[in-house]
Amino acid sequence: MASTTMRFSASSTAFPRRNSVAGFIAVASRSSSKSRLRFIGRNANLSLRRSSSFSVLKCMSGSEHKLQDPVAQQQEATTSLSSFMPDASSIALSIKYHAEFTPLFSPENFDLPQAFFATAQSVRDALLINWNATYDYYEKLNVKQAYYLSMEFLQGRALLNAIGNLELTGPYAEALSKLGYKLENVAYQEPDAALGNGGLGRLASCFLDSLATLNYPAWGYGLRYKYGLFKQRITKEGQEEVAEDWLEMGNPWEIIRNDVSYPVKFYGKVVEGSDGKKHWIGGEDIKAVAHDVPIPGYKTKTTINLRLWSTKAASEEFDLYAFNAGRHTEALEALANAEKICYILYPGDESMEGKILRLKQQYTLCSASLQDIIARFERRSGANVNWEEFPEKVAVQMNDTHPTLCIPELMRILIDVKGLSWKDAWNITQRTVAYTNHTVLPEALEKWSLDLMQKLLPRHIEIIEMIDEELIRTIIAEYGSTDSGLLENKLKEMRILENVELPAEFADILVKSKEAVDIPSEELQNSEQVEEEQVEEEEEEEEEEEEDDDDNDDEVAEAIAKKNGTDESSIEDKKEELPEPVPEPPKLVRMANLCVVGGHAVNGVAGIHSKIVKDEVFNAFYKLWPEKFQNKTNGVTPRRWIRFCNPDLSKIITEWIGTEDWVLNTEKLAELQKFVDNEDLQVQWREAKRSNKVKVAAFIREKTGYSVSPDAMFDIQVKRIHEYKRQLLNILGIVYRYKKMKEMSAAERKANFVPRVCIFGGKAFATYVQAKRIVKFITDVGATVNHDPEIGDLLKVVFVPDYNVSVAEMLIPASELSQHISTAGMEASGTSNMKFAMNGCILIGTLDGANVEIREEVGADNFFLFGAKAHEIAGLRKERAEGKFVPDPQFEEVKEFVRSGVFGSYNYDELLGSLEGNEGFGRADYFLVGKDFPSYIECQEKVDEAYRDQKKWTRMSISNTAGSYKFSSDRTIHEYAREIWNIEPVKLP
């Protein structure tokens, strides 16, 4: 984006030098000639931090900087802060201070990027005051605190969210206006923090916002990825990946805590000391260093923390001798091995090196975070640490299976470092840790190679083996040993270690249980007698036949050869062939099973998902421990996802409800239902939607070069590219629509089809070939359709590159139809469906994930439903495997159209082949695209019909916003806090 030029006018203050820091400071100084900023040292009295929500100090200006008596300075600062209410002039001075004294750029220029950094640093001052006050208070009260561990935190831009939560949007906009900038343009300079990819990370960030807003004592823990997942580029070849550059210019929000670091070990060996304790020694040692990001609550002083870990090696690991000898790579090896742990999110794991790196990432997150949590617990406990109280002060939530190593790591620290017994450590661990399941896909229920983990984390494997033994005892105690088949099946299904032999003590029990089901002795004697008689008869027959055998051998061999098309030599060869040895199945550690066993709570993230978790994924565990299993339907923060990203609609809601309390109490959104038929509201609603669509049309033109009409329906599917999310169904539906248009006259097209802009966005994982083929296909269809003069604005297909939170904040408010069309039973919940509904978008989808609950809340008439139900899926796949599936003629027609080459020369046989056949890897239409296709096409016709009646459509849109109140992350967090973490809100005085 081009830099904004500061302009001169008769009424404005002139700059001594254009776009320079000096010029910027001059304007800031003149805007409040009696004010000047003074730096406050880190050791200023803590009362300063509690006195105000803003950090700018006003004091008398002078021609020179003069040192003052430190005591007098602190007293003056205290007085200033306690009475300070930030206004535009004070904020301008704060920005000026950071431009002058904490610059990240040279002073010659002060363009938009520099303005963003100075503005963000001034906001961070306010956050730090509240952050310090929050944790001083938590330390004083020694409250129970929740810790949310996640491999992803998809934060998005922070500036507008932070000043919105601090209720300083207006003053900051005015301050920047005085300085020649628009807040919107300054905020646009902020790159999205590349700390996540999809719903998992976005949910974690929504949870942090709600935790702070609701005043719950909590922290988030994650990793600080230098290059993120990747930055997506769309070319003629499809998706290309390049490294993210979000940290290239620095991150103004983070505070590096160089004094907060913890050792993390890999490899080595376990030895037993003379005291009988286990010691993990040798191996590779790195350091995890803390980077803190303050997370402000809305209309509250509470500011919680997201602590991100970066990794490095100690300075002494740099081999100076090797470097000076010219062996530079060797000299840097230890440093590079440490630093690369936090290079990218989800490194490719097809190679052994990739697998090792992923496991290192997961262990680093768990080890550093738990060491930090334990240090805090010990500090707050003082001289008398009572480990039995640990679960009363600490709740650890594992967001999916990535942080599973928390369980053996907490055990290791408690036993090996703190000296607790196994029994006490296991009791504490189970009461502390809880697990959120996010998927029913088998590949996402992580399994790690036992051999790999044995090498990388030898002590943890010892602990996991002992946990597995504890589980085996529990299973035997529950099911007994009389029914060997039942016991064997339960062990096979539930054990943490897969394809690993039972320990000797349990193997004996299984053998005995098999012996116990022998045939009764009387029947056994009878059967033995029969067997003996049969053997005698067979021996007599063989003796009689042996005489003729020699004569018949040649004839038999010849007959067999003729029948099989072989000769004698080949028969001899076959006699000599030995059966190929069956390869041993790999020994694995099932992380999801470990989560269930090691935690006190397991929750799904939508009603239907939690039912599948109990009935299918973990059914055996559910039968054993039903009290562990819960549902916590996901939610999204209404601050970021409607109040800040859709200000036009937010004003309308506030006006008609009569209060802005809905931002904190989304139940009030339901009051909109009273006005759904009000024409004035409908007119305002449509105007707000169109205004957002105009912005998106400009954005699409900028990013893709395509021109789209804001008067067309905006039909959007934005999410991670995956076969089960069925972007392929969507684009094949578009192809079918395009084909039918081409078969009609211009007048017929206009009469039969509503104009649509079909927008896609999302990243395909770099090694997920089929997902990348889908991206390529979408862009090829767009290239053809968008340049077809016969079609014009009736149909446009756009793939928005590098989809992220900031793009979502623009697209979602402009959306009219949103597609959530995953194969039923495969989406855990989804959160984008909630964001779309909250912004008055109507959903088309299957009964999958949170769609089920959204449809219940907004009303069946305000949701476009199609497709097979979750309970039907297994039967439909079986029917396909048996060759009974009859493809729909429309589906066959659209595949043939694609193969005709209308969308270019690319060979789509592999993509379309996955939808064909009845069996085989990557075939047989596992995700039921073909099965649901006719239902999907029929449903899309209903969409067109409804959109033609704009009053009806607007009514449906308002009903979606009114019915979305349940899907606030505030509601979800209250449930976690009350039913899993057992924590209470703590409001600062």
The helix or strand, by DSSP H or E, that contains position 155, with its residue range, turns out to be none
Q: What are the phi and psi torsion angles at 301 (to 5°)?
A: -75, -20
Burial of 563 (0-12, 13-18, 19+ CB in 10 A): exposed
Catalytic residue among 124, 402, 438, 614: 438
Separation between Cα atoms, residue 609 and residue 603, nearest integer Å: 9
Q: Tell me if 334 sits within 8 A of 283, measured CB to CB.
A: no
Separation between Cα atoms, residue 91 and residue 661, nearest integer Å: 27
Q: What is the dihedral of CA 815, 817, 821, 824, to 10 degrees?
A: 110
The helix or strand, by DSSP H or E, that contains position 392, with its residue range, turns out to be helix 390-393
979 token code pair: 């039913």
Instruction: Indicate if 690 belongs to the active site.
Output: no
Instruction: Indicate if 737 belongs to the active site.
Output: no
Q: How many CB atoms lie within 10 A of CB 975?
A: 17
Catalytic residue among 725, 726, 763, 955: 725
Instruction: Indicate if 651 belongs to the active site.
Output: no
Instruction: Indicate if 823 belongs to the active site.
Output: no
Written as one string, the DSSP assignment of 903-966 is: T-S---HHHHHTTSSSSSTT-S-TT-HHHHHHHHHHHHHHHHHHHHSHHHHHHHHHHHHHHGGG
Classify the C-alpha dihedral 187-193-199-205 as positive or negative: negative
At 870, the amino acid letter reads: A
Q: How many CB atoms lie within 10 A of CB 233?
A: 13
Instruction: Indicate if 831 belongs to the active site.
Output: yes
Q: Tell me if 394 sits within 8 A of 144, measured CB to CB.
A: yes
Residue partners of 588: CB distance under 8 A and separation at least 6: 447, 448, 449, 450, 497, 498, 499
Catalytic residue among 720, 772, 773, 820: 720
Pairing relationship of beta strands 602-604 and 433-436 according to DSSP bridges: parallel
Catalytic residue among 96, 358, 835, 966: 835
Q: Tell me if 391 sits within 8 A of 373, measured CB to CB.
A: no
Q: How many CB atoms lie within 10 A of CB 270?
A: 15
Instruction: Indicate if 30 belongs to the active site.
Output: no
Catalytic residue among 459, 719, 880, 955: 719
Separation between Cα atoms, residue 256 and residue 808, nearest integer Å: 29
Strand partners, 603: 436, 630
Query: DSSP H helical segments within 84-180, as ranges?
Result: 88-101, 112-141, 159-165, 169-178
Catalytic residues: 438, 719-720, 725, 831, 835
